[in-house]
Amino acid sequence: MAIEVRPVTPADIAYVRQSLTAAFHGTVVAVHDELIDAGDLPGGIAWTDGEPVGLLTYRAAGTDWEVVSIAADRPGSGAGGALLAWIRDVAAGAGAARLWLVTTNDNVRALRFYQRHGFDLVAVHRDAVTRARALKPAIPRVLDGIPVRHELELEVRF
């Protein structure tokens, strides 16, 4: 099955909300000590066989581009990799110098995934998730037996 990625359009809002809610308990994510409504951001949707199978949202500040959310409906399907390849192309084509994102310290699967796709670990923001719970109490305290406390920042430079 070929996976294609295209920009989010207004017609995609139901899927965007559904995808973000399934992955993040709502469209609002708490990162870097702020709340961000990822549903209001530009993004890309991965498609296969006429069905959406993944979503990535991002924001750009000059030459600094951030992946705010990424979620594949079926992990291991290739949708996540297709979304990362798409945003790398979009960011590089727009003159970005850096594409970055954060994940949490418990998310070893994501850490492995991002590094396999060329991202480099550049910072650990200690207790960032602990602080984020003041903004979004629904953030779990423990996942897979690992206390969720820190943000891990990864980047690709162009």
Q: Which among 146, 51, 42 has a CA at the least distance from the CA of 86?
A: 42
Mean pLDDT for all residues in the chain: 96
Alpha-carbon span 5 to 16, nearest angstrom:
14
Q: Work out the pLDDT band at 92, boundaries 50, 70, 90.
A: very high
Q: Work out the pLDDT band at 9, boundaries 50, 70, 90.
A: very high
Residue 105 has pLDDT above 90, yes or no: yes
Q: Work out the pLDDT band at 43, boundaries 50, 70, 90.
A: very high
Q: Which among 14, 18, 8 has a CA at the least distance from the CA of 42?
A: 8
pLDDT at 19: 97
Q: Which residues contact 61 (CB under 8 A, 6 or more apart)?
A: none
Higher pLDDT, 114 or 32: 114
Task: Render pLDDT for 132-144 as a digit per residue (tens, 0 to 9).
Answer: 999 999 999 999 9
Which domains does the chain show, CATH number per domain? Answer: 4-157 (3.40.630.30)
**Strand runs labelled E in the chain:** 4-7, 28-31, 34-37, 43-48, 51-61, 64-72, 98-104, 120-125, 142-143, 146-147, 151-157
Average pLDDT over residues 5-12: 98
Residue 74 has pLDDT above 90, yes or no: no
Residue 1 has pLDDT above 80, yes or no: no
Burial 92-124 (b: 16+ CB within 10 A, else e): eeeebeebbbbbbbbbeebbebbeeeebeeeee
CB 40 within 8 A of CB 26: no
Count of other CB atoms within 10 angstroms of residue 48 = 18
DSSP secondary structure code for residue 119 in this structure: -
Q: Whole-model pTM?
A: 0.94
Residue 110 has pLDDT above 90, yes or no: yes
Pairing between strand 146-147 and 142-143? antiparallel
Q: Work out the pLDDT band at 154, boundaries 50, 70, 90.
A: very high
Average pLDDT over residues 77-85: 96
pLDDT at 76: 84
